[in-house]
Amino acid sequence: MQIQSIEKELSITLLDRSSQGVVLTPQGKVFHQYAKQVLDLTKNVEAEIRAMGDGASTSFRLGVCPLIAEHILPCSLYHLRERLPHVRIVTSVMDSDEILDAVAGGIVHAGMIQGSLHHPDLTVEEILTAPFVLVTSREQNELFSKNLLPEDLTFLPLVFPEQGCCSRKMLEESLMTQGVNPYDLHVLMELTSFEAVKSLVISGQDETFLPYPLVKIADQ
């Protein structure tokens, strides 16, 4: 994919071009960081496919959680199609717990999950990490005019993914590693997914925490 095409698609500038050469813009540095992780992800999937052997089926079944399916997988599939044009990749979107069971049961060949999940019969390898960031609408951005302490978060009106889903568990685990007890927070509303949460916050309602890849990179 050409750099200019990516810039046009995302409405950002990745390279600062001048007569002295080109350098990465702040947005370009962020994109480069996650592009490297996506390429690593692609290599892992390719290795799984090649390990099936020459005599295996040309179809590769991949279980993917919704977050990865929507925001990360498309770029990985683009690279895989170039490297393995003879392989037909069939994806199934399901929750992370279901993916582990599907891999263990032979329903899919491999899976991409989110969160710290394990299965006694499977090997789970971390291939991509992304921090959570506090997000608010542009109308409420005075919130970021000061440095927030963990105790400040307890006063914010927050929107979270619904209890019991993998996205909620992942968010709560991330908060606890930063010394924030999720049960001390003021959660006003719970929605079905991070994407639904993001849409509500963009409309000017409350605040939330989102995985960094979900936050649109905007020109500064």
pLDDT number for residue 145: 60
pTM: 0.59
What pLDDT does residue 220 have? 39
How many other C-beta atoms are found inside a 10 Å radius of the C-beta of residue 106?
Answer: 8
> What would the mean pLDDT of 130-145 be, rounded to a whole number?
73
For residue 35, the tally of other CB atoms under 10 A from its CB is: 14
Q: How confident is the model at residue 41 (pLDDT cuts 50, 70, 90)?
A: low
φ/ψ (deg, to 5) at 193:
-160, 165
Q: Which among 43-47, 115-119, 122-126 has the top mean pLDDT? A: 122-126
**Residue that wins the pLDDT comparison between 16 and 219:** 16
Angstrom distance (rounded) from CA 88 to CA 80: 10
Q: Which pLDDT score, from 0 to 100, does residue 217 have?
A: 44
DSSP string, 126-150: ------EEEE--GGGGGGGGSPPPG
Mean pLDDT over 111-140 rounds to 80
Residue 104 scores a pLDDT above 70: yes
Q: Is 199 helix (H, G, I), strand (E, B) or coil?
A: helix
Q: How many helices (H) and strands (E) does the chain have?
A: 7, 9
* Distance, CA of 132 to CA of 127 (rounded, Å): 17
- State residue 110 phi and psi, 5-degree precision: -155, 170
Judge whether residue 88 has pLDDT over 60. Answer: yes
The model's pLDDT over 138-169, given as tens digits with 9 standing for 90+, comes to: 666 666 666 778 888 888 889 998 887 778 88
CA distance 169 to 96: 11
Q: Of 48-62, 65-79, 116-130, 169-183, which range is least confident?
A: 48-62
- Mean pLDDT for 30-41 is 71
DSSP-based three-state secondary structure for 184: helix
Q: Rounded CA gap, 84 and 39, in Å?
A: 14
Residues 5 and 155: their CA atoms lie apart, in Å, by 42
Band of residue 184 on the pLDDT scale cut at 50, 70, 90? very high
Answer whether 87's CB lies under 8 Å from 135's CB: no
What domains, with CATH codes, occur in the chain? 3-112 (1.10.10), 132-214 (3.40.190.10)
Whole-angstrom Cα distance, residue 195 to residue 34? 19
pLDDT of residue 144: 63
- In this predicted structure, the answer to whether residue 136 has a pLDDT above a threshold of 90 is no
